[in-house]
Every structure is written in C-alpha cells, then in structure tokens.
Amino acid sequence: MNKYSAQTDQSSHKNVLYKVIYTVICSVFALSVLVMFGTTTEQINNKLPTKGLKDQNFLNKVNYQVSINKPKKSPVVVLEETDFHGRPLTASCTTCHSTRQPNNTLNDSSKLDEFHPDLILNHGQLSCMSCHNAGDYDKLKLANGQTLDYTNVMQLCAQCHGPQHRDYQNGSHGGMQGYWDLSKGPRVRNNCTDCHNPHTPAFQKFRPVFPPDRDLTQEHSFLIDVKSKSIKGNIVEIQENE
C-alpha cells in the first residue's frame, strides 16, 4: 500500500477513493448488525394487549347502584298568578285539556293558534297523540295504548329507537357521571329527554367551546358565554314557553 500512496498521480487518488468507499460500506454494515441486535430483543418480549382478557376470574363486587335521572312526574304550566307565599302557581295539563276535544290527527305545531304557540314539532311523522295520552294528559301512551308515566319516558322512546336504547343500556350512548367501578361509588345516567327535546329530538347545532389555538385571550369572553348556556333541551321547556 505504501508504494501507491507515495505517488501523487490521479490513479492513486482513485485507488484511495475505492478503498474509502469500501471502508464506509463495511462500517455501515457492521454498525447496522450491532444496532439490530441491541433493539430487537425487547420487541419480542412485548406483552399482548389481550393478556388475560377472557380467563380473568373477575370478582365483581357491586356495592353501589346506577341511577337514571328521572324527568318530572308530569310537566306543568306556570301561571302568572302567585300563591300565598309568592310562589308562581302551576296548572297541570289536565286542567285545560279535560275541557277540550283531542285532535288525534294533528301533527303540525303551526296550527296551534291558541296555546303552545312556540312549540315546534319536528319528530319524524309523529303526531301529538302518538305519545300524549288523550285519556289522561298527565300521562304518556305507548304504541299499544298502554298508559305510561312521564318518569318512564325512556320506555316510550325505546319503542322506535331500539339501537340507541340498546347502546344506552350498554353504556355507549347518553353519557354518565360518577364511578366506572361500582364497588367504589355510584353512577348517575341521563335519560333521553335530558339531552333530546322530545318535540325536536335532533341535536341542535351550537358553537363549539374551547378553540384549540395557542393564544386565545380575546376569545375567552365568548367561551364563558357558551359555557353558561346548557345545551340540554328539556321537557320542562314547555313551562318557559308559556
């Protein structure tokens, strides 16, 4: 090798060059082997996520209950008069409806010219009497004619919305608060009408909260505004409308 490098002509540079390239390639190869040995062993020992999924002998100590929010026993209308203590007087549905003939085919809220002027019905092909009970306006009615308390409204909804009801029962619809572990604490769940207005059940569009940008100082007022407004439509809204 010495005899080549002593020369300074072009061929010696080329020779050196080939050797340099050769050395580089060999080193890269050796290094790759080394790194591979170092890093792959751990990968094999990685535990699978399904570890013990089926054969786990699970002791389910349920000390607490899941409770479902119940709607008011039946809606009421708030009157302008107040009682002895200054509390507003309320009237139940039957107060007015017992004196009027039910209109079994009415399904258009715009035709309500005397009462419930702000009520909007936009719930499939349903008419008022699909759910309301002409026999007892303080109760609801199932499809088979059976009378149903307002508190059990979910049963009424479930008649049509089977998949949603199934999801709800399995915890993947409707939300919850409290404990996932019922051995440690209770859980509270919404009912359908906590979130869906039964007359216009589709979720209302609204401005999203909490924009993700880095600097939002000037947007904070808007945030608080939206926060204070509940998005939960409610059956008791009827009261406010009167």
Residues 121-160 that bind other proteins (CB under 8 A): none
Q: How far is the CB of 150 from other proteins (least distance, A)?
A: 22
CB contact at 8 A, 138 and 94: yes
Quick one: 12 exposed, middle or buried, by C-beta within 10 A (0-12, 13-18, 19+)? middle
Under rule CB under 8 A, residue 208 binds other proteins: yes
Which of positions 47-106 make contact with other proteins (CB under 8 A)? Answer: 47-49, 51-53, 56, 58-60
Please identify which residue in 139, 156, 165, 190 interacts with other proteins, judged by CB under 8 A: 190
Please identify which residue in 103, 216, 225, 236 interacts with other proteins, judged by CB under 8 A: 216
User: Which residues are within 8 A (CB) of 240 and not within 5 positions of it... i.e. 6 or more apart?
Assistant: none
User: How far, in Å, CA of 212 to CA of 226, rounded?
Assistant: 15
Q: Identify which of 80, 81, 77, 74 has the alpha carbon closest to the alpha carbon of residue 90.
A: 77
Q: How far is the CB of 96 from other proteins (least distance, A)?
A: 34
CB contact at 8 A, 153 and 140: yes
Please identify which residue in 72, 106, 210, 236 interacts with other proteins, judged by CB under 8 A: 210
Under rule CB under 8 A, residue 170 binds other proteins: yes
Please identify which residue in 143, 184, 225, 236 interacts with other proteins, judged by CB under 8 A: 184
Nearer to other proteins, 84 or 224 (CB): 224
Q: How far is the CB of 119 from other proteins (least distance, A)?
A: 22
How far is residue 114 from each of residues 81, 94, 100, measured CA to CA in Å?
A: 19, 16, 12
Under rule CB under 8 A, residue 218 binds other proteins: no
Candidate segments 1-9, 72-80, 103-111, 120-128, binder of other proteins by CB under 8 A: 1-9
Under rule CB under 8 A, residue 13 binds other proteins: yes
Q: Identify which of 96, 99, 79 has the alpha carbon closest to the alpha carbon of residue 88.
A: 79
SS3 at position 96: helix
Under rule CB under 8 A, residue 221 binds other proteins: no
Which of positions 27-46 make contact with other proteins (CB under 8 A)? Answer: 27-28, 30-32, 35, 38-39, 42-43, 46
Structural element, H or E, at residue 187: strand 187-189
CB contact at 8 A, 90 and 74: no
Candidate segments 81-89, 112-120, 122-130, 227-235, binder of other proteins by CB under 8 A: 227-235
CB contact at 8 A, 5 and 16: yes
Nearer to other proteins, 45 or 110 (CB): 45
Q: How far is the CB of 140 from other proteins (least distance, A)?
A: 23
User: How far, in Å, CA of 132 to CA of 148, rounded?
Assistant: 9
